[in-house]
Amino acid sequence: MSADLVVDVSDGVAVLTLNRPEHLNAYTPEMGELLGRAYRDCDADDEVRAIVVTGAGRAFCAGADFGGGATPFESPGGDDGFTASPISPAAFELRKPVIAALNGHAVGIGLTIALQADIRIVAQDAKYGVVQVRRGVIPDCMAHWTLAQLTSLGVAADILLTGRTFAGSEAVTLGIASRALPAGQVLDHALETARDIAVNVAPMSAALCKRLLWDTAMHRYPPAQVAELETRLHRRVMGGADAREGVAAFLDRRPPRFTARLSREWTPLP
């Protein structure tokens, strides 16, 4: 796509690498546009079954780029089309599982982008934080919603209102990340997880599960409505080719060969 974002697709896994290592992958509007475009392309590609987002070098993303004498927090005035959520679509709006491999520091928008992923793997000793209130602005990328969904209102308040930074090990304790590892192991673990999904998880099942999970959060479905939707979505897949194949592969102790394709068979949730 561009030097600022490297996209590599192999064996069902798309790896999207923020690629400004000399600037600790500091965020630029172009990077955000490229990431959104890559998300759309991956979601439309049946060969992609899982997505990993990571950073080149020793950081994931150190926040907004303040280089070149310009600050991203200056308002040009007027209705300039500014949005505080520049990654479109957000990772949680896709149908494919998205894993954020935070191989190093993720600060400000660097962390709020990762909060939109389904799974986060972090580096134990790296620095993380949503620091915007310490820069005179407020958190972005829907962090007021994603962080509260991932953790609790109290944890979100602690992180967002103080703007403090914390290590990867605390990120796991807070519920922000699922696992903290030595920095050199983060991407490998994320890839291992993504490849397991690519081989063993039915793409249609993953898509339906992910959409129901996030739509339930976004629309605050009550339990009875979730039960109804689960029943209706079960009826879509029960008795189908992939359901039969999943059982047969399990009994035969072999990798499954799923055939459903989102590009031709997907319909939105009811």
115-140 pLDDT, tens per residue? 999 999 999 999 999 999 999 999 99
Choose among 53, 98, 52, 49: nearest CA to 201. Answer: 49
Mean pLDDT for 28-44 is 97
Considering Cα of 2, then 194, then 113, then 90, what sign does the dihedral take? Answer: positive
56-101 pLDDT, tens per residue? 999 999 999 987 655 656 655 556 788 999 999 999 999 999 999 9
196-239 pLDDT, tens per residue? 999 999 999 999 999 999 999 999 999 999 999 999 999 999 99
φ and ψ of 268, to 5 deg: -60, 160
The fold of the 5-197 domain, in CATH, is 2-enoyl-CoA Hydratase; Chain A, domain 1 (3.90.226)
Q: Please give the CATH number for the structural domain made up of 202-265.
A: 1.10.12.10
pLDDT at 242 over 80: yes
Tell me how crowded residue 227 is: count the other CB atoms within 10 A of its CB: 11
17 pairs with which residues across the strands?
A: 6, 54
pLDDT at 42 over 80: yes
Residues of the chain with CATH 3.90.226.10: 5-197
pLDDT of residue 123: 98
- Angle, to 10 degrees, between the axis of helix 203-219 and the axis of helix 223-237? 160
Kindly report the length of the chain: 270
pLDDT at 267 over 80: yes
Cα distance between residue 158 and residue 111, in whole Å: 15
State the greatest distance between any 2 C-alpha atoms of the chain, in Å, as a whole number: 64
Residues of the chain with CATH 1.10.12.10: 202-265
Mean pLDDT for 35-43 is 98
The burial class, CB within 10 Å (0-12 / 13-18 / 19+), for 253 is exposed
